[in-house]
Amino acid sequence: MNEKQRTIKNEVSISGVGLHTGRSASLTFKAAPENHGYKFQRIDLDGKPVIDADVDNVTDTSRGTTISQNGASVSTIEHLLASLVGMEIDNVLIEIDGPEVPIMDGSSSFFTEALDRAGYVIQKLDREYYTIPHNMHYTEPEREVEMVAMPLEGYRLTCMIDYNSPVLGSQHASISSIDEFKTEIAASRTFCFLHELETLVDNNLIKGGDLNNAIVIVDKDVNDSELTSLAKLFNRKDIKVAKEGILNNIELRYQNEPARHKLLDMIGDLALIGVPLKGHIMAARPGHAANVAFAKKIKAAIKKERSKKRVHLYDPGAKPLYDVVQIMDILPHRPPFLFIDKILELSKTHVVGVKNVTMNEDLFQGHFPGTPVFPGVIQVEAMAQTGGILVLSTVPDPRNYITLFLKIDNVRFRAQVSPGDTIVFRCDLMEPIRRGIAQMKGVGMVGEKIVVEAEMMAQITRIKESETTL
C-alpha cells in the first residue's frame, strides 16, 4: 500500500534568536496542500516573498545553509528541515519574520516537539520517493570528504567524523530508519572548537551565540584568564574544562553527540532535494558544502530520470500508420524537401513521425561534407512536417490545405545528429486548435537521447489562398 503525503493538523509557532545575526525571529508552521513541499515566507518584507526550500536556491554554506529567492533569504535552515523530514511531514509553509531560523538549543528538539504538538493530517496523494538506483559518489579529496548513496528499501544514514583532534577523536553515528530520528538524533546539538569560537567572537559573527546552544570542544591549552574572558562574554559566573575535553557549560547528551549532529545536518541539507529518499547514505567528514553538492548531484539524477519518463520511447522499426507514399497524400512537400519517412501514431492531440538520416541525401554534399552533421534547421523543418500531419488531420481534405509557420519559440539543440541516426519526432498540441491556429510542443529523439525540442505556432491555410509553403 502506497504511503500518503502529510501536512500538519494545527498551526504552531516558535520564537528565538538567530545564531549568526543575533536577531529575534518568530516562525509559524502552517498546513500546505499536496505537492507543496517545504517553503519559507518572509512575512517581514514587502510583498511577503516565498523561498522554496530547494537545493538550487542555496546561496551560502559557510556557517549553516542559506537559501535565497525572490529577493529574500533565510539562513540556518538545516535543523528545522531535519525535523520536518524526521517527523515525516511532506508539505508545510514556514512563515518567518526575520532572516534567520532561531538556533534554540542548537538541535532540532524544539522544532520536533512543536511538530509533535501540531499533529499531522494524511493527504490524498501518494508520497513519491526517489529510490537510489545505483551507487552514487561525491568526494572532496582536499577535505577528505567522501559521500555515497546506495540502493536500499528504506532510509538509512551513516556518518563518520574525524577532525584529527585528540579530544574529539573519530566518531560514528547511524540510524537504520527515519523513525529513529526523534529519539536518537533530534536532540543532538551543534558543536565547534574553542579556536573557532574565539575567531567567530573576534569577528562579531555569532551575535546570537550562547553557551547554551553549542558544545564547545577545547582543542588547545587554555589558561584561567581566557576562561574568565569567555565567562564574562557569555554572562557566566565561571567556565571550566570538563573531563571530556569540552567546556562545562553543558553536559553531553550522547557520547557521540557531535557525530549525531553531523548526521542531523545531513538529513536537513538533503531535504533540499525536494523528495523523500529511499537508500543508504554514508558520509565521511561531511559539511554543509558537501551535503549541498551531493544533494545537487542526486537532484540532477532525479531530473534526468523524470525527463526520460516524460518522453515515451518508440520503436522506429514498428509498422507505420502512414508510409512515405501515404504521407505525400497529406503533405504537399516532395523530395528533396520531404523530411518524414513514416508516421507511427496519430491522435486528436499528438503525432509521432520518423526521419531516417542517410548520407546519400543532397544536403550532405554542402553541409560539412568532411564531418557530416544533419542541420538543425532541417531538424526543425522535419518536426514541423510531423506536426503538419497532425494539423491537417483536422480538415476535410488535406490536399486542399497547407500549414504555414507563424512563430517558433524555445528551440534547443541538445545533441548532434549524423548519418545513420533515426530521429523520432513527437508533437503535442499545447492547446486546442482555434481559428485555424495550432500551437505545438515538439521533441526529437535519437534512441533515449533528446536531440531537439521547440514550440511551434502554425496556421492552416487553403492552397487557393496561398501557394507559399515552408
- pLDDT at 186 > cutoff 60: yes
The confidence score (pLDDT) of residue 211 equals 61
User: What is the average per-residue pLDDT within 398-421?
Assistant: 91
Q: How far is CA 38 from CA 31, 53, 54, 94, in A?
A: 10, 6, 8, 8
In angstroms, the CA 294 to CA 198 distance is 30
The confidence score (pLDDT) of residue 217 equals 75
284 CB contacts (<8 Å, ≥6 apart)? 144, 145, 146, 147, 160, 162
| 305-320 pLDDT tens trace | 876 655 677 888 899 9
pTM to 2 decimals? 0.67
The confidence score (pLDDT) of residue 82 equals 98
Catalytic residue list: 288, 367
Taking all residues of the chain, what is their mean pLDDT, rounded to a whole number?
Answer: 89
User: What is the average per-residue pLDDT within 8-15?
Assistant: 97
- pLDDT at 185 > cutoff 60: yes
470's grid cell: 515552408
- pLDDT at 87 > cutoff 80: yes
In angstroms, the CA 384 to CA 402 distance is 12
Share of the chain above pLDDT 90, in %: 68
In angstroms, the CA 135 to CA 278 distance is 12
In angstroms, the CA 179 to CA 2 distance is 17
Supply angle C-alpha 281, 40, 115, rounded to 5: 70
In angstroms, the CA 458 to CA 435 distance is 11
Query: Per mean pLDDT, which range of 112-116, 321-325, 399-403, 440-444 is the poorest?
Result: 399-403
In angstroms, the CA 156 to CA 170 distance is 20
The confidence score (pLDDT) of residue 468 equals 39
- pLDDT at 272 > cutoff 70: yes
16 CB contacts (<8 Å, ≥6 apart)? 24, 25, 102, 103, 104, 110
The confidence score (pLDDT) of residue 466 equals 44
The confidence score (pLDDT) of residue 467 equals 44
In angstroms, the CA 386 to CA 354 distance is 8
- β-pairing verdict for 170-175 and 130-131: unpaired
The confidence score (pLDDT) of residue 330 equals 93
The confidence score (pLDDT) of residue 60 equals 95
- If DSSP codes are grouped into helix, strand and coil, which group holds residue 374? coil
The confidence score (pLDDT) of residue 208 equals 52
Q: Nearest-CA neighbor of 413 among 442, 387, 392?
A: 442
The confidence score (pLDDT) of residue 233 equals 63
In angstroms, the CA 177 to CA 155 distance is 5
- pLDDT at 432 > cutoff 60: yes
In angstroms, the CA 235 to CA 218 distance is 19
The confidence score (pLDDT) of residue 166 equals 66
Looking at per-residue confidence, does 428 or 207 come out higher? 428
170 CB contacts (<8 Å, ≥6 apart)? 160, 161, 162
Instruction: Estimate the share of the chain in helix, then strand, then coil, as percent rounded to the nearest 5.
Output: 25, 35, 40
Q: Are residues 443 and 378 in contact, defined by beta-carbon separation less than 8 angstroms?
A: no
Q: Are residues 354 and 316 in contact, defined by beta-carbon separation less than 8 angstroms?
A: yes
